[in-house]
Structure 1
Amino acid sequence: MKSLKKMVLSALLATTMLSSVGFNVHAQETTTGSITEDTHIANEERANDEAYSEEAITSNDGIEFDDEGNITAVTIGGETAEVTQENPANPETPVNNSPNRITTNLTDDPSTSMHFQWHTTDSDENAKLYIWEEGQSMDDAIEVDPEIIEIDDAFYNQMTEDGHYVYAIMWDEEENKPITDDDDPWIATENPDEVVGYYTDEVFSDDNLLWLDKGFDNYSLGLPYPSFTETAYKATATELNPNTVYHYTVGNKDGELSDEATFTTASESSDDFSFIHYTDTQNAFSSENQRSEADYSNSTIQSMLENPNAEDAHFALHTGDVVNDDWNDTEWNLTLDALLPLNNEMPHMFITGNHDNDNFLDHINTDNAVEGMDSGAAYSTRYNGVQFINLNTEQANESDEDEAPAILDNQMEWFEEELQKAQEAKDNGDIDWVFVSYHRPLFSSSYHSLEDESVQLIRDDLMALLDEYDVDLVFNGHDHNLTVTHALTHNAENFGNAEVATAGESIEDVTTFNNPEGTVFFIPSTAGTKTYNTIYKLESFDWILENEDIHETYEDLFGHELTEENINSFRELLLTEEQPFISSFYAEGHSNARESNFQHYSVVDVTSDTVTYELYQVVGEDLDNRETTLVHTYEITK
């Protein structure tokens, strides 16, 4: 196996450590035996163990047949599951009429209104949002009637009575191999006569990296219950009082209600506040019974709630990919349940990602400012003197063109109008900052930022607008690594279409930008378990040419031959390029096996003249014994 480069611990271990149990402040430097250091060492040992290489763990994989040609077993990641001709699933489709998948989302004026959404299986025409001010009780609640929407084609993976997922094997006679294309996720359910065998996940263990990496789709298909209809409820509370704590519950007070939850409305004008930034929970369902991805996200949520530096956060910004498969309601349930403790304490500002865009509007109640947009949502909100503008980078899905930009003309026109209004508000002293959020980044230390065709097709125009209208900060996701740029301005002649206008100045674990010209871009890695390596930093140019398709993207789109100088000049734009999780799967590609035990989030403090971006990591394999560490602080002053 190709040897993996050793990560430098000193850049990743924090100066301030906070225990996930009780969240006590510990010593000023990491000590030997700390959870973070022990976890890092264990990860490094496994990454360099040939037994965990992708080649080794797949060496005995395959399908077994009996003398009559029937499939009897399937081996995935070296572990063998029995294949049966009878479907072992519980035939009853799931029913949940307790309010579930509850989310709140900021409106265009969060000082006086708030969006809510929840779901049940069966429709309840008497369901309501009940909301009341701090100091009152539910007896004083205002009742808000929701819009009730039928959601067709609810997708839930079939399970056995004891909770194991069931998978179906279908055979492609022409290709003489299993059908593994899940472009139609219903194919196995709708064609039961063509299913040649079933198996469950019961045999697979929590250290089977191939299984954790959705290994079922090498030989089989997910098996959903037959399609049925669920119910979504969308409610908006209006005429709220600014800077006021509210309590709420949803459902039917004569039937089932959600737990009581709370949020605080924004102030009417500029006021200090803080928020949480996290991204790419992107939890896949298939490893729930081995090493649940949703549980690691929930652990990260618990860290946020126990972090004393986040206790005054007003809302959470999630920059896309709530789930891995947007059509899969099993995943929406698992993930939104994992996020619920945070949602019960504060609203969200959800951004559309490439993994959740098709069903984003089915699950999130949000404004959508671009008429006719059905690939996600674009909207803006003003919060305590900050104009937030949120873009949808999945609009290529709306185009008939083979090669389309991530943001189409109608959204770009709306974006420029919002920037113009924000600039006027800034000039008039009505706001202090302009923040923009979108999922797919222009700048990252992993492959997406240069390989995604839709991003390259919007790169120059988007960077030009960010520069022209003096956007202060951009918040991204998508590339599952820690990336922070210097303050950048537009330069169409440079590779990457940007140049460093103001370099961040770093002393130990603090970086400052003093009255910077340009925009600073942030990716806080991931709050899930799927990570990407910092390939531009750690891998050779020859490795990039061999293992990635960036050169093909630039050749196909622009007739440009990618050079090592291009990569080096692109890296000059990046201030932080880190991936503290080490995986054996990085030897042959950018992605791990969805087995990360390092999760990240940030706490962002905002005043009229300073933004402080504190980056935290949550570390540990044992979910009952994890450690939260302040990794780095970025301070932007003006």
Structure 2
Amino acid sequence: MKKTVLISAVSAILLHCTAWAQTTVTVDYDNYSTPAAMQLRRTLAEMQSSGMPYSIAMTVNGDPCTVMGFAWFTNPGTKNGEVQIVAKENAVPADFDNPDMSFPAAVQQVNGLNYSIEKNKLSGIESNIKVDYLSHKAKAAGLTPATTYSYRVGSADGWSEIGTFTTASADKNAGYSFIYITDTQAQNDEMFNVSQKTVHAARKLVPEAAFILCNGDLVETSGSNNSEWEYEQWFSTMQDIWLNTPLVVTMGNHDISGNRNFAYHFNNDNSYNENAEVPTDMDGTVFSFVRGDVLYLVMSYENWNKPGYLDSLGKWMRSQVGAHKDVKWKIASFHKNMFTGSRSHQDDADGKAVRAAMLPLFSELGINMAFQGHDHIYEVIGPVNNTTKTLASNGVEEVLTVGEPGARENMTGREGGVFNTAAGTLYFLNNSAGKKKYEPRTEEEMIASYSKHEIENYWGLFSGKFGQTGEPTFSRVDVTPESFTVSTYTVDDNGNPTLFDSFKVINNPDGAGIADVAAETTADIRWDAAGYIRISNIAPESVDVYDIEGRNVCHTQSAIIPTDNYTIGLYIVKASAQNKTYTGKILIK
């Protein structure tokens, strides 16, 4: 049985075409097994026409109350695109016969992108062939706050599926949630399957997410011969999410390329590069926006060694904070870590240089929290006094002791906590959403590397949970005027999320509700797997243990307390010595 079929779009790549074309070929199904032949017929039936949009991204670009950015690719030769918008939820194609709004796209020819490399493991597709595209970018403005819209992108040559979004409320006290992921970083089908499971689990758990903060290294392959196929997979395996949730994308070192794939794929605010003394090498990688009572500063440190760049970035940060003096929260987002505890990057020269330039600025501007990427490990660091590089006073409370320190999954033996960022910055990395992982350092390793990182008592900055689970992760971030609550989940092979850690961030200049760490943590109070509460660093004169109901279940003078008869749960331990009282919370499992 022979079948004549029209080959275009992706199939043109299979024929090693460097320009898009339509080619008629004859397939003799008798040369293939029945399952293979039937699969080919199904694939051909599902192929999109050459005019269809793909790799569609919706991005926060300006005021999220009234503006939304859109970007997509098409094959060369298609008509200039537009975004059509209707003010309704669950729209159908007929609703776009007379859309409420439409915005034309700026179109740019993108020639000679390297399609794939050998490590992509694409059987039947030659590595390093060059492919041409059209990049379309449109910006919708004049939207109504707190309104749900449906949209589609494309042209008469082909329209995308319909997506939805909801603009931000103009009420700065309105709460919202967002998803934080980093380092999806994949280069083959197996790795993309891990990343897409993670992001789908996140979207299922937080369907109302206002946006997804993605902190760089979307793909693996960078440089001159990077892989556009990796970007195609990043979009296609998660396109249902990107159609319906705006992105806030930070560029990572693996997103750097001479052909600028990253910049073509995302319609981010580019005002920094248009006005800066020293622009970045990639457009749309430094920008800000305000949502609620929060100023978000999205930055790139990838040009850290470009003369004058960090000074230029600092001037921009001052201008953004100065223009929004009334906001309570200032949040930074960047890829390469300023503080980290991994064996892979703690000693990096770029981290040391960035700290020297940016820590005084973080202190001056009162940056409350920094979402990081790059190091593929879980770490809660600070709040850090950015001047002394020590823990800020009045900064930490309610951190639970849940085990002995030193375990790979939890090097500090801690979890949870309430962190007051009024006097310092909390630096946070939630591991990675992809397969690739790094390993945590021990305290001894950090001490031995002092000459490289030059931070005294680096280990002492790890105030919360710190370790490596080996599983992909995402975080749900719930924002109110009073706090950020960050809950991080691991995702198993079946795509099921499990809570790994949860903590709260507050910003109380008067220190209300926060105990002084320097005064309250000189006693080390822990519960170990052998079944004992152990108190060290002091000689207790009196010890009381209370259960979650406030009942006193033990009174003793011993520093070692057996817990054989205790039920599983949370306990408060108060130890007195030399007219001081030390309090700890333990979780008996």
Question: How high is the TM-score relative to the length of structure 2?
Answer: 0.68
Q: Secondary structure at the match of 1:463?
A: helix
Q: Of residues 364, 368, 385 in structure 2, which corresponds to 1:489?
A: 385
Distance in 1 separating the partners of 2:113 and 2:140: 27
Distance in 1 separating the partners of 2:51 and 2:64: 29
Tell me if structure 2 keeps the 8 A contact 1:102–1:340: yes
Distance in 2 separating the partners of 1:369 and 1:329: 26
The match for 1:91 is 16
The match for 1:263 is 165
Determine whether 1:296 maps to 2:194. Answer: yes
Q: Of residues 463, 467, 482 in structure 1, which corresponds to 2:363?
A: 467
The match for 2:203 is 305
Matched AA of 1:266? A
Q: Of residues 514, 519, 535 in structure 1, which corresponds to 2:425?
A: 519
Tell me if structure 2 keeps the 8 A contact 1:375–1:395: no
Determine whether 1:143 maps to 2:97. Answer: no
Determine whether 1:580 maps to 2:580. Answer: no
Distance in 1 separating the partners of 2:441 and 2:15: 44
**Segment of structure 1 superposing worse, 292-301 or 497-506:** 497-506
Cα RMSD over matched residues?
2.6
Distance in 2 separating the partners of 1:234 and 1:562: 44
Q: Of residues 440, 451, 463 in structure 2, which corresponds to 1:561?
A: 451
Pairing 1:30-429 to 2, within 5 Å after superposition: 90-92=15-17, 97-134=51-88, 137-141=95-99, 142-157=101-116, 164=123, 223-225=127-129, 227-252=130-155, 254-270=156-172, 271-285=174-188, 288=189, 292-307=190-205, 310-326=206-222, 327-358=226-257, 359=260, 360-371=262-273, 372-376=279-283, 377-396=285-304, 399=306, 407-422=309-324, 424-425=325-326
Higher strand share: 2
Q: Secondary structure at the match of 2:290?
A: strand
Q: What is the CA distance between 1:94 and its match in structure 2?
A: 8.3
How many residues in Structure 1 have an aligned counterpart in Structure 2? 431
Q: Secondary structure at the match of 2:161?
A: coil
Tell me if structure 1 keeps the 8 A contact 2:215–2:250: yes
Distance in 1 separating the partners of 2:397 and 2:110: 48
The match for 2:42 is none
Q: What is the CA distance between 1:97 and its match in structure 2?
A: 4.0
Matched AA of 1:224? N
> Kindly, what percent of the aligned residue pairs are identical?
24
Q: What is the CA distance between 1:261 and its match in structure 2?
A: 0.8
Q: What is the CA distance between 1:478 and its match in structure 2?
A: 0.5
Cα distance change, pair 325–158 in 1 and its aligned pair in 2 (3 A):
closer
Distance in 2 separating the partners of 1:151 and 1:451: 38
Tell me if structure 1 keeps the 8 A contact 2:314–2:361: no
Tell me if structure 2 keeps the 8 A contact 1:89–1:158: no
Q: What is the CA distance between 1:455 and its match in structure 2?
A: 2.2
Cα distance change, pair 366–113 in 1 and its aligned pair in 2 (3 A):
same
Pairing 1:528-547 to 2, within 5 Å after superposition: 528-536=434-442, 541=445
Unpaired runs of 5+ residues, structure 1, are 1-87, 168-222, 426-430, 546-550, 552-559, 582-597
Matched AA of 1:328? S
Distance in 2 separating the partners of 1:562 and 1:443: 13
Distance in 2 separating the partners of 1:536 and 1:102: 43
Tell me if structure 2 keeps the 8 A contact 1:486–1:504: no
Determine whether 1:446 maps to 2:354. Answer: no
Q: What is the CA distance between 1:474 and its match in structure 2?
A: 0.7
Q: What is the CA distance between 1:627 and its match in structure 2?
A: 2.4
Q: Secondary structure at the match of 2:158?
A: coil
Cα distance change, pair 524–123 in 1 and its aligned pair in 2 (3 A):
farther
Cα distance change, pair 92–348 in 1 and its aligned pair in 2 (3 A):
same
Cα distance change, pair 158–165 in 1 and its aligned pair in 2 (3 A):
farther
Distance in 2 separating the partners of 1:568 and 1:619: 37
Q: Deviations over 1:207-246 (max 9, x none)?
A: xxxxxxxxxxxxxxxx211x34211001000111111111
Q: What is the CA distance between 1:335 and its match in structure 2?
A: 1.1
Matched AA of 1:349? V
Tell me if structure 1 keeps the 8 A contact 2:18–2:132: no
Cα distance change, pair 515–387 in 1 and its aligned pair in 2 (3 A):
closer
Q: Secondary structure at the match of 2:237?
A: helix
Distance in 2 separating the partners of 1:383 and 1:240: 15
Cα distance change, pair 536–99 in 1 and its aligned pair in 2 (3 A):
farther
Q: With CA pairs under 8 Å and 6+ residues apart, which has the higher RCO, 1 or 2?
A: 1
Matched AA of 1:240? L
The match for 2:328 is 432
Tell me if structure 2 keeps the 8 A contact 1:500–1:573: no
Distance in 2 separating the partners of 1:341 and 1:454: 36
Distance in 2 separating the partners of 1:515 and 1:574: 15
The match for 1:631 is 500
Q: What is the CA distance between 1:163 and its match in structure 2?
A: 5.2
Q: What is the CA distance between 1:503 and its match in structure 2?
A: 2.5
The match for 2:555 is none
Distance in 1 separating the partners of 2:350 and 2:438: 20
Unpaired runs of 5+ residues, structure 2, are 1-12, 21-49, 274-278, 403-414, 509-589
Distance in 2 separating the partners of 1:536 and 1:481: 13
Tell me if structure 1 keeps the 8 A contact 2:78–2:157: no
Larger radius of gyration: 2
Q: Deviations over 1:476-510 (max 9, x none)?
A: 10001111112111235xxxx44443234313653
Q: Deviations over 1:340-361 (max 9, x none)?
A: 2221221010011111133221
Tell me if structure 2 keeps the 8 A contact 1:390–1:438: yes
Distance in 1 separating the partners of 2:270 and 2:501: 34
Question: How high is the TM-score relative to the length of structure 1?
Answer: 0.63
Distance in 2 separating the partners of 1:394 and 1:264: 32
The match for 2:511 is none
Q: Deviations over 1:577-627 (max 9, x none)?
A: 11011xxxxxxxxxxxxxxxx11010100111111001111012xxxx342
Cα distance change, pair 385–123 in 1 and its aligned pair in 2 (3 A):
farther
Cα distance change, pair 94–260 in 1 and its aligned pair in 2 (3 A):
farther
Determine whether 1:614 maps to 2:481. Answer: no
Tell me if structure 1 keeps the 8 A contact 2:384–2:426: yes
Distance in 1 separating the partners of 2:362 and 2:209: 27
Q: What is the CA distance between 1:382 and its match in structure 2?
A: 0.6
Matched AA of 1:100? Y
Q: Secondary structure at the match of 2:157?
A: coil
Matched AA of 1:614? S
Distance in 1 separating the partners of 2:390 and 2:314: 19
Q: What is the CA distance between 1:456 and its match in structure 2?
A: 1.2
The match for 2:353 is 457
Cα distance change, pair 128–89 in 1 and its aligned pair in 2 (3 A):
closer
Matched AA of 2:228? D
